[in-house]
């Protein structure tokens, strides 16, 4: 959380605009702390811009992008709180240059993401979804659904922050080696050994992506990157869809360079994460829909009953802390 360098007025004079619905405890705890809560879940971005100068704080999920134009209209804004992990929908540099504090809540859904990634991996290894569909269709195929064991494998985690660490923690009960690769130094811990990219590419059997979406990670999982791995591998993405070139992923699935993929996020998602594209489906997406060794979920890795509460609690705590 970046701290604002603006002088903060008393809590009781602080007006917060909620732009998305969240767990009611967020509203209730801010109200109990003395903040003034307001909501507007339906107005357009243009309509919000016309009134945003009246507010000192924003609480948002991913309804629309908060860009320079929006921030220039928000002349009294002191913080932006995103009820989620990433801040890519906000022009962070420009906001911070205006002294606006940025608040996110990766602590709130990291456990959910870790569990979802593990669930996807075990389902891929054991053909659970495929076998279930076949039995329901009257087919009892045992040999074609012979699975793989996770024990003895090397799991590689790209991006070892809140989400990557949560996934590594979930792997502690398995006889696996866990490696992590991150641009930051010294992030490895008792659950994962940090290695250079060269070793990572040589050793891993499973790749799980846990990076934020930045200019550096945009389209990073492409043909060149995939083909640099020494062994065929399974791939998980519970991070951001735009970090993966889907056509290159599909080519790797077809060539069996990638043995299977669990995708909670897709390159085709809209910025709000609430919808996929509304135009003709690309051929690569059609392949994903038909492939037996691909699992698809609608950006719900961090979307549990428990994480909804934890995300709201984390944001409430951080806003209150900002004004202490």
* Ranges of each domain in the chain: 11-104, 109-296
Q: Which CATH number fits domain 11-104: 3.10.580.10, 3.40.50.720, 3.30.70.1350, 3.40.47.10?
A: 3.40.50.720
| 116 has catalytic annotation | no
In 172-292, DSSP assigns E strands to 177-181, 193-194, 206-209, 233-237, 258-263
pLDDT digits (tens, 9 = 90+) for 181-214: 999 999 999 999 999 999 999 999 999 999 999 9
In percent, the amount of the chain with pLDDT more than 90 equals: 88
Catalytic residue among 136, 190, 280, 324: 280
- Separation CA 310–CA 314 (nearest Å): 6
| 149 has catalytic annotation | no
Q: For 15-28, what is the mean pLDDT?
A: 96
| 280 has catalytic annotation | yes
Average pLDDT, the chain: 94
pLDDT digits (tens, 9 = 90+) for 124-176: 999 999 999 999 999 999 999 999 999 999 999 999 999 999 999 999 999 99
pLDDT digits (tens, 9 = 90+) for 210-233: 999 999 999 999 999 999 999 999
* pTM (two decimals): 0.92
Q: For 294-302, what is the mean pLDDT?
A: 96
- Separation CA 222–CA 228 (nearest Å): 10
Q: Which CATH number fits domain 109-296: 3.90.1150.10, 3.40.50.2300, 3.10.20.740, 3.40.50.720?
A: 3.40.50.720
Token output for 209: 């992506």
In 183-232, DSSP assigns E strands to 193-194, 206-209
How open is the CA angle 113-117-123, to the nearest 5 degrees? 145
Count of C-beta atoms within a 10 Å radius of residue 118: 22
Positive/negative CA dihedral, 301, 306, 309, 313: negative
pLDDT digits (tens, 9 = 90+) for 43-98: 999 999 999 999 999 999 988 899 999 999 999 999 999 999 889 889 999 999 99
Catalytic residue among 82, 240, 267, 269: 240
Closest CA to 267 of 296, 297, 289, 246: 246
pLDDT digits (tens, 9 = 90+) for 228-286: 999 999 999 999 999 999 999 999 999 999 999 999 999 998 765 666 766 677 899 99
Report the half-sphere exposure of 139 (CA within 13 A, side-chain side): 11
The label of the residue with tokens 């590689």 reads 156
């Amino acid at each position: 959380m970046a701290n604002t360098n603006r002088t903060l007025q008393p809590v009781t004079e602080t007006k917060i605009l909620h732009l998305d619905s969240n767990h009611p405890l967020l509203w209730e705890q801010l109200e109990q702390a003395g903040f003034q809560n307001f909501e507007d879940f339906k107005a357009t971005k243009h309509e919000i811009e016309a009134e945003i100068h009246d507010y000192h704080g924003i609480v948002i999920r991913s309804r629309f992008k908060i860009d320079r134009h929006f921030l220039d209209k928000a002349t009294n804004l002191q913080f932006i709180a995103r009820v989620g992990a990433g801040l890519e929908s906000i022009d962070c540099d420009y906001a911070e240059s205006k002294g606006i504090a940025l608040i996110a809540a990766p602590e709130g859904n990291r456990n959910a993401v870790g569990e979802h990634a593990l669930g996807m991996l075990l389902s891929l290894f054991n053909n659970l979804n495929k076998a279930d569909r076949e039995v329901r269709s009257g087919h009892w195929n045992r040999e074609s659904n012979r699975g793989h064991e996770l024990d003895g494998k090397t799991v590689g985690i790209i991006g070892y922050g809140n989400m990557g660490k949560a996934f590594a923690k979930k792997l502690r009960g398995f006889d696996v080696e866990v490696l992590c690769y991150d641009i930051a130094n010294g992030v490895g811990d008792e659950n994962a050994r940090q290695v250079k990219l060269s070793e990572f590419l040589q050793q891993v059997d499973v790749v799980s992506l846990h990076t934020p979406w930045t200019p550096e990670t945009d389209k990073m999982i492409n043909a060149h990157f995939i083909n640099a791995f020494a062994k065929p591998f399974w791939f998980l993405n519970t991070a951001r869809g735009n970090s993966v070139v889907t056509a290159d992923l599909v080519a790797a699935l077809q060539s069996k360079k990638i043995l299977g993929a669990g995708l909670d996020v897709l390159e085709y998602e809209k910025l709000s994460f609430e919808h996929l594209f509304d135009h003709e489906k690309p051929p690569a997406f059609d392949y994903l829909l038909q492939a037996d060794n691909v699992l698809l979920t609608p950006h719900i890795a961090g979307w549990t009953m428990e994480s909804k509460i934890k995300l709201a609690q984390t944001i409430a705590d951080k806003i209150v802390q900002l004004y202490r």
